[in-house]
A and B are shown apart, each in its own frame.
Chain A
Amino acid sequence: MSDSVTTPSESSRLTVALIGNPNTGKSTLFNALCGGQARVGNFPGVTVEKKVGQYQFKERDITLIDLPGTYSLSPRSADEMVSVDVLLGRQDDIPKPQAVVCIVDSSNLERNLYVFSQIRDLNLPTVLVLNMWDLAKNRGITIDVDELRQRLGVTVVMTSAHRQDGIEAVSEAIIQVVEDEVTPPPRLFPEAFYAEVEKLSAWLVEHGEEPAHFYLHERMLLDVRGASEEATNKENTLQLKEYLGETRLRLAAEGCRIPAIETKLRYNWIREKLDGVMVRPASDQTLSTSDRIDKIVTHRFSGILVFALLMFLVFQAIYTWSGPFMNLVEGGQNFISTTVEGWMPPGTLRSLLVDGLIAGVGSVIIFLPQIVMLFAFIAIMEDCGYMARAAFLMDKLMTKIGLSGKSFLPLMSSFACAIPGVMATRVIENRRDRMVTMLVAPLMSCSARLPVYILMIYTFIPASFIFGWLPLQGTVLFAMYALGTLIAIPIAWILKKTFFKGETPPFVMELPPYKWPSPRIVFDRVYDRAKAFVVRAGTLIFSVTVLVWALSYFPSDHSELHNLSIQMETIEVTAPAEQETLDQLSDQHNLLAGKLIRESYLGRMGVAIEPVVKPLGWDWRIGIGALASFPAREVVIATLGTIFSLGGDTDEENPGLRSTLAAATWPDGRPLFTVPVALSIMVFFALCAQCGATLMVIRRETNSWRWPIFTFTYMTVLAYVAAFLTYQIGTAIGG
């Protein structure tokens, strides 16, 4: 890593880093400043999200870098090292920030100032933003801001970011502090400590290391087994560890015990600075509204009941509300197909458009409404503070399989998508727990499975009621979601007993007060995910669809089939009364289409794999669909759409995929899809690792190929066995 370049000629350009504890309103402030315009990516080599925004203020171009929310700037892992590297200008792709904005929660100033005190040590121009000013006022907390400014030696701004209060003042402060002289950081540690840091710096240079910021060397001493220790030449690492160990012993002998000393000194400093500046009301003995809600929501019995009820309602709602939307999209899709068929003669190009693209991509887009709803529910539960309670509740269950409540949040977000879920495992401090959580996260039914479930349930599960009141379809959907979760329990338990043996880790987590979810935050999250879904449909699914279409179209000769289509379409226009001829032609057409697709490349592949999928109750077309979905599971819908559309199974009256599937038969005329077949397909998709992107994320997070390969293997085997059992048992019971 080298110092990056800032072009001096662009003196109006300012790079500013934004940092603070989690839940202080950092994202809210970021959006308020940049107007939601941000480029989101990843820092190279690590899993930290890189969010960079641009805006203009008083003729200055300000680039704002959003650093991950953190309680401290003591890097214990490569991920946490990123923030330090950015702040010190050691991150290649980002210019060194000219100023830091440290955002804190005014209602919890004492604790939030911890990271601020570390940032002061960086000796950068710093703006302290006291956010949640409204909240502090409501709680009766008073802060003498002028005095605080004096004592801390930095610019202090009060904001209520969610109401856009004080946002301009933040920008004003930014462009001001870069002009001002920086007050040198307070020297909190005993002089002996600083002397040792100086010595360490000299030692490092002697050993051929590049000179680096003083703060890094402070961290080397303070963080036992921290990430800064690793950031040196390989040959020196061992020697350095030894040197650091000796130094720490020397310091301990002088009463400077590492790492305890740091928290002690910093908090003493904070208390000293806040003494007389901040006054909070005497006691918090009274029960707040949040406490009252918590009484019910975190209660052993009623809590679980509330949770189960909530989940059940979410799935019923997704199911019930999505019907009309689906019909709407499907109507649109039919309309487009018919229009295209209207102005194009039958032929290869028309087949590509109608059978390939419209049938393929269209059948995936139809599921956008459900996915939006699912993400909205999860975002709302997270933002209102409920998710943390659910984690609290689940801790009891999680400890039974050797995990903690911390694992709950990543698993819950995996219901939306395993990719953010796997990345969210970063909040788990314990490495073994993190690994186990990561490896079972893909078992949670993500939103890409939803289309498969909905398609199968909507088409093949009767719309009846259990006990006369419980809708069967919604219940099957719920069961599919429960399946992955239930299977994850023994898997996690086994992993925890074998590869990742260890104590159940402790569990400390903040329970933020309940509040109304912010529409802005919910909207942003949903929009991001919906966009990702559509982009995926437009790229990956599009390509696979075209490939599948080509494989199932060629090399057979389609001229006879096109002739039949032309004849049929002519009769429809000129002599619509000749229903008999039309039916005859149509049967002939479908027969021929079926024959052609069996002779295609895809058909030949299908014949080869049919013996493998037959025990699951599938024919070769479903088998190919499942096979084509290994890169991304939602592809199956598109693939089935294309295969069945080309295969001539399309119901002419109603060319949507649902009626097409309902009409599909085995060569001997038996219906292809029965309830056990539909269930076996759903179970297979519920458990199989059909997502290249998730496997790549696991590979990145674990930094090894071993774990994605492991995940892929165990899930695929599991899926096959479970689908087999489902079909066989289902057939035995129901026939």
Chain B
Amino acid sequence: MSVATTTQVVPLDLLQAHESGQILEVVAPNEWTHRLQELGLREGVTIRMVKTGEPCILAIDGHRFSYRCDPSTMIMVELAESIA
């Protein structure tokens, strides 16, 4: 993975199609964080937005997930600035 020159942290749902980044933080009610983490949405993981919208499609390690969060859940992503 190339090192990003500038970093930008945005909520996951603001990612554009084909943008990718690393999950910095998962803010959600306790039980739900646990589920998300078990599914692979956890800190340090690189995710890519395949299709935006509600729900959106995410790619994690070559696997695809549909994802829609409720207002109490926020996943912060550190954008990877255009990977070479």
B66 engages A503 (CB within 8 Å): no
The number of inter-chain residue pairs (CB within 8 angstroms) is 109
Specify which of A74, A395, A396, A504 is in contact with B34 (CB 8 Å cutoff): A74
What residues of chain B lie closer than 8 Å to A513, measured between beta carbons? 64
Interface size class of A (residues with CB under 8 A): 35 or more
What residues of chain B lie closer than 8 Å to A264, measured between beta carbons? 42-43
Binds B, one of A108-116, A167-175, A312-320, A330-338: A108-116
> Does A391 touch B at the CB level, under 8 Å?
yes
> Does B36 touch A at the CB level, under 8 Å?
yes
> Does A139 touch B at the CB level, under 8 Å?
yes
Q: Tell me the smallest distance from the CB of A150 to a CB of chain B, in Å.
A: 24
Q: Tell me the smallest distance from the CB of A548 to a CB of chain B, in Å.
A: 49
A396 engages B36 (CB within 8 Å): no
Q: Given A74-B34, A405-B55, A508-B41, decide whether A503 and B70 contact each other with a Cβ distance below 8 A.
A: yes
Specify which of B50, B51, B55, B61 is in contact with A280 (CB 8 Å cutoff): B61
Specify which of A260, A283, A288, A298 is in contact with B83 (CB 8 Å cutoff): A283
Q: Given A259-B30, A263-B38, A506-B73, decide whether A395 and B62 contact each other with a Cβ distance below 8 A.
A: no
B63 engages A510 (CB within 8 Å): yes
A294 engages B57 (CB within 8 Å): yes
Q: Tell me the smallest distance from the CB of B37 to a CB of chain A, in Å.
A: 4
A290 engages B70 (CB within 8 Å): no
Question: Complex formed: what's the CA distance from A108 to B62 in Å?
Answer: 8
Q: Tell me the smallest distance from the CB of A725 to a CB of chain B, in Å.
A: 37
Q: Tell me the smallest distance from the CB of B69 to a CB of chain A, in Å.
A: 5
Question: Complex formed: what's the CA distance from A267 to B60 in Å?
Answer: 15
Q: Tell me the smallest distance from the CB of B25 to a CB of chain A, in Å.
A: 11
What residues of chain A lie closer than 8 Å to B59, measured between beta carbons? 284
What residues of chain A lie closer than 8 Å to B39, measured between beta carbons? 71, 111, 508, 510
Smallest Cβ-Cβ distance to A281: which chain B residue: B62
> Does B11 touch A at the CB level, under 8 Å?
no
A495-511 near B? 1/0 per residue, CB < 8 Å: 00000000111111111
> Does A620 touch B at the CB level, under 8 Å?
no
Question: Complex formed: what's the CA distance from A260 to B59 in Å?
Answer: 23
Smallest Cβ-Cβ distance to A74: which chain B residue: B34
Question: Complex formed: what's the CA distance from A713 to B42 in Å?
Answer: 45
What residues of chain A lie closer than 8 Å to B72, measured between beta carbons? 503
B49-84 near A? 1/0 per residue, CB < 8 Å: 011011101010111111111111100000000010
Smallest Cβ-Cβ distance to B62: which chain A residue: A284
Question: Complex formed: what's the CA distance from A392 to B83 in Å?
Answer: 29
B55 engages A507 (CB within 8 Å): yes
Smallest Cβ-Cβ distance to B51: which chain A residue: A298
Specify which of A71, A392, A429 is in contact with B55 (CB 8 Å cutoff): A392
What residues of chain B lie closer than 8 Å to A391, measured between beta carbons? 66
What residues of chain A lie closer than 8 Å to B73, measured between beta carbons? 506
Smallest Cβ-Cβ distance to A268: which chain B residue: B44
Per the 8 Å Cβ criterion, residues 22-51 of B in contact with A are: 30-44, 48, 50-51
What residues of chain A lie closer than 8 Å to B68, measured between beta carbons? 395, 399, 404-405, 506-508
Per the 8 Å Cβ criterion, residues 684-730 of A in contact with B are: none
Q: Tell me the smallest distance from the CB of A386 to a CB of chain B, in Å.
A: 13
Question: Complex formed: what's the CA distance from A637 to B27 in Å?
Answer: 56
What residues of chain A lie closer than 8 Å to B61, measured between beta carbons? 108, 110-111, 280, 284
A511 engages B66 (CB within 8 Å): yes
Q: Given A508-B66, A509-B65, decide whether A294 and B51 contact each other with a Cβ distance below 8 A.
A: yes
> Does A572 touch B at the CB level, under 8 Å?
no
B70 engages A511 (CB within 8 Å): no
A395 engages B31 (CB within 8 Å): no
Q: Tell me the smallest distance from the CB of A25 to a CB of chain B, in Å.
A: 15
Q: Tell me the smallest distance from the CB of A258 to a CB of chain B, in Å.
A: 9
B43 engages A506 (CB within 8 Å): no
Q: Tell me the smallest distance from the CB of B62 to a CB of chain A, in Å.
A: 5
A216-236 near B? 1/0 per residue, CB < 8 Å: 000000001100000000000
Question: Complex formed: what's the CA distance from A405 to B50 in Å?
Answer: 18
Question: Complex formed: what's the CA distance from A265 to B70 in Å?
Answer: 27
Q: Given A280-B61, A284-B48, A505-B70, decide whether A114 and B41 contact each other with a Cβ distance below 8 A.
A: no
Query: Nearest 3 CB-CB pairs, A to B?
Result: A263-B37, A511-B64, A392-B66
6 contacting pairs across A/B (C-beta < 8 A): A74-B34, A224-B30, A267-B37, A284-B62, A405-B55, A509-B66
Interface residues of B (CB under 8 A from A): 18, 30-44, 48, 50-51, 53-55, 57, 59, 61-73, 83
Give 10 A-B pairs besides A139-B62, A506-B68, A508-B41 with Cβ atoms closer than 8 angstroms.
A111-B40, A111-B63, A259-B33, A280-B62, A290-B64, A298-B51, A392-B55, A395-B66, A506-B67, A512-B64
